[in-house]
Amino acid sequence: MPRKLAAGNWKMNGTLEGLSEIAELGGLHRAPSVDILICPPATLLSPMARAAQGTSVWIGGQDCHAAASGAHTGDVSAGMLSAAGAAYVIVGHSERRTDHGEDDGNVRAKAEAAWRAGLVAIVCLGETLEERESGRALDVVARQLAGSVPDGATAANTVVAYEPVWAIGTGKVAGPTEIGEVHAAMRAALTQRFGDEGAQMRLLYGGSVKASNAAEIFAVPHVDGALVGGASLKASDFSPIVTALEQA
Ligand SMILES: O=C(CO)COP(=O)(O)O
């Protein structure tokens, strides 16, 4: 079983001063029993990767283009992220799906590009409030999982993050029953499709995770970590979440 994963997604936040947060986080967790990852904006990736060298903190990108290079103004390839020091890349975050019209096919192609560059792909999915309230959450997640996770996914090259859109940045956390139901369904689908690799693949929950609710979330079966937005920006906020995961 790969180690559990506490991942921070800084989104479009942070400055060079945030380098000190990486050093502080590494200092607080010198020999963690879980993996720790911070995904800063692309402009901070290289200095953050340097700051993280020799610490327990991994650095990742927040998105990549599906192509290796070419005429794609404003985009960054997976190879470029890797060269800058990334080990992971988030693909298919709901903010990318909404802001940039990305669909499951785009996300799948990005995950494959991540693998070609030697990165671990964190494939995100999750239903909207309207989809949950109309009883379609499990169907939506099943469809996104089937369409966004490429053939060839393994426990080593892929992480799946369930982030219900209505719980992101809203302070509304999905309850243990809701999370448990979706994570069990994802585990069953991944195991059916990928066998033992699917059984071992890390499944993260994301959406308003904080120190105060982390332990309850990590106690849910098939939750192997978290993808944290706001509460990952400060080491002092993120560190208790890392500790809760170590103790789960
Ligand atoms: O979108 C998220 C992480 O990718 C979750 O963000 P918040 O933790 O700020 O709700």
- Rounded to two decimals, what is the model's pTM? 0.98
User: Does 13 belong to an annotated binding site?
Assistant: no
Task: Verify whether ligand 1 is closer than 6 Å to residue 6 (CB atom).
Answer: no
Residue 168's pLDDT band (boundaries 50, 70, 90)?
A: confident
* Residue nearest ligand 1's atom 3 by CA: 229
Cβ–ligand 1 contact at 207 (below 6 Å): yes
ipTM of predicted complex:
0.99
Span 79-94, average pLDDT: 98
Task: Based on the residue annotation, tell me whether 183 is a catalytic residue of this protein.
Answer: no
Nearest CA, atom 7, ligand 1: 229
CA 128 / ligand 1 centre spacing (Å):
14
What confidence tier does 197 reach under pLDDT thresholds 50, 70, 90?
very high
Is residue 174 very low, low, confident or very high in pLDDT (cuts 50, 70, 90)?
confident
Sorted by where each starts, the structural domains of the chain and their CATH numbers stand as: 5-247 (3.20.20.70)
Q: Per-residue DSSP letters for the chain?
A: -PPPEEEEE--S---GGGHHHHHHHHHH-SS-SSEEEEE--HHHHHHHHHHHTTSSEEEEES--BSSSSSS-TT--BHHHHHHHT-SEEEE--HHHHHHS---HHHHHHHHHHHHHTTPEEEEEE---HHHHHTT-HHHHHHHHHHHHSPTT--TTTEEEEE--GGGSSSS-PPPHHHHHHHHHHHHHHHHHHHTHHHHHSEEEEESS--HHHHHHHHTSTT--EEEESGGGSSHHHHHHHHHHHHH-
Q: What is the pLDDT of residue 170?
A: 85
**Residue of 131, 163, 183, 222 marked catalytic:** 163
Confidence of residue 164 (pLDDT cuts 50, 70, 90): very high
**93 classed as catalytic:** yes
| pLDDT digits 0-9 by tens, 105-152 | 999 999 999 999 999 999 999 999 999 999 999 999 999 999 999 999
